[in-house]
Amino acid sequence: MSNNQPLAERLRPKTLDDYIGQGHLVGKGAVLRKMIESGNVSSFILWGPPGVGKTTLAKIIANTLERPFYTLSAVSSGVKDVREVIEKAKKQQFFSRPNPILFIDEIHRFSKSQQDSLLGAVEQGVITLIGATTENPSFEVISPLLSRCQVYVLKHLEKEGLEKIIEAALKNDTALKTKKIKIEENEMMLRYSGGDARKLLNVLELVVNAEETDEVVITNEIVTARLQKNLAIYDKNGEMHYDIISAFIKSVRGGDPDAAVYYLARMIEGGEDVKFIARRLVVLAAEDIGLANPNALLLAQGTFDAVHQIGYPEARIILSECTIYLATSPKSNSAYSAIDKALGLVKQTGNLPIPLLIRNAPTKLMKDLGYGKGYKYAHSYKGNFVEQDFLPKEIKNERLYQPQNNPSELKILERLKKWWGNRFG
């Protein structure tokens, strides 16, 4: 393999045994490993941050199963390219021959028409689709295609995995083996990588190549000095992306409009996707402002719609307005806490019987069995309320929603106490 290739490409694993990380997917007995070992691979989407092995995993699967492997990048490919690959795949169809694998990198960048062009081939088994995305497929992949694909989530690599990658590079790469490399400290290399294997190897290669002798000693100070001259201020596909969005979210949550707008500007100046920022504002409105100011969600949704239609540069003003509004709003995570507590309760208790009085009774048999019997229509009572049991009897005393101490929810609490008495006392 040519030393002119980047180190990350030279060291790309060829088998599952060489693949580092994602044990929940490819470890012993894990879902993807079992699928590969069975030889029966269905279409799926790999969702995870950059540099965690999405492309590598797709190539390993194709090599292991000896399948024809086509690859397209959503950045540079159009509907015509998709159709050409599908035609090639059709020509390779034989009764006993497995279908080819089509790998689409950054599938979230495909337009609706591009994604539509894949549907028939995936449904008919002409190709097995493997998509890779750094964005939530629920937002970026059309529902008909998403329903035909399983989604597997890949995670940032942990310290142990990153250290194994460095060890493998020093041991196996022909170019690095020609030098005497001593790593006295690795903390800064790991920190700059942000759990991204590709970035880690790029850092290692940059530091090694910067030394004029064959004896290389790597320390945190040396790594920092080399990278300050080479790394971009904002990398929307790398570690800085996650640091800045984290700072933005926490500034809004913490009620600091100055910091929130500052980090918004950092993202805009760095070329961040306007839809990504707007989506985060919608989530913030529900998760952190919530019922303390229900209008926040309406404004955030309006912001999402507006900036999607308008785009930069004017969208910056709309994003700024929404950011400041959310940062200065009263905060409550009661809705967030309530649904998580409810989900935990469902997992713990399973499918408890729904009380008969609130069951649907569309047939005579169901009515004879007592479905709907005793149900009281709330609007027929004073104040449009009458006390009755809606929860299964096994958990009827559980409290999931806890109003918090803000003017809006204090009014809600007052209403609940009036209706339910001691239950919300």
Domain 22-153 has CATH 3.40.50.300: yes
- Asked if residue 204 lies in contact with residue 186, where contact means CB atoms within 8 angstroms, the answer is no
Q: Rg for the chain (alpha carbons), in Å?
A: 27
What confidence category does residue 1 fall into, taking pLDDT thresholds of 50, 70 and 90? very low
Query: By three-state DSSP, how is residue 26 classified?
Result: helix
Interval 338-383: pLDDT, tens:
999 999 999 888 888 888 888 887 777 777 778 788 888 889 989 8
Reported CATH class of domain 159-228: mainly alpha
Interval 35-55: pLDDT, tens:
888 888 889 999 988 888 899
DSSP tally for the chain: helices H, then strands E: 20, 7
Q: Which residue has the higher pLDDT, 93 or 209?
A: 209
Average pLDDT of span 232-251: 69
What residue segments make up the domains of the chain, in order of their start? 22-153, 159-228, 239-328, 353-424
Average pLDDT of span 4-26: 87
- Asked if residue 100 lies in contact with residue 127, where contact means CB atoms within 8 angstroms, the answer is yes
Strand partners, 71: 103
Q: Which two tokens stand for residue 415?
A: 């209403």
> Does pLDDT of 258 surpass 50?
yes
Task: Please tell me the distance from the alpha carbon of residue 223 to that of residue 204, in angstroms, as a whole number.
Answer: 9
> Does pLDDT of 240 surpass 80?
no
Q: How many CB atoms lie within 10 A of CB 23?
A: 14
Return the C-alpha torsion angle 38, 40, 46, 51, nearest 10: 50
Please state whether the predicted TM-score (pTM) of the whole model is above 0.85. no
Pick one of 2.30.30.40, 1.20.120.80, 3.40.50.300, 1.20.272.10 as the CATH number of 239-328. 1.20.272.10
> Does pLDDT of 329 surpass 80?
yes
What confidence category does residue 192 fall into, taking pLDDT thresholds of 50, 70 and 90? confident
Task: Please tell me the distance from the alpha carbon of residue 363 to that of residue 254, in angstroms, as a whole number.
Answer: 54
> Does pLDDT of 256 surpass 90?
yes
- Residue 230 has what pLDDT? 57
Task: Please tell me the distance from the alpha carbon of residue 132 to that of residue 109, in angstroms, as a whole number.
Answer: 10
- Residue 96 has what pLDDT? 64
Average pLDDT of span 278-285: 94
Task: Please tell me the distance from the alpha carbon of residue 170 to that of residue 177, in angstroms, as a whole number.
Answer: 6
Q: Which residues contact 371 (CB under 8 A, 6 or more apart)?
A: 356, 359, 360, 361
Q: Which residues contact 93 (CB under 8 A, 6 or more apart)?
A: 99, 126
Task: Please tell me the distance from the alpha carbon of residue 240 to that of residue 314, in angstroms, as a whole number.
Answer: 25
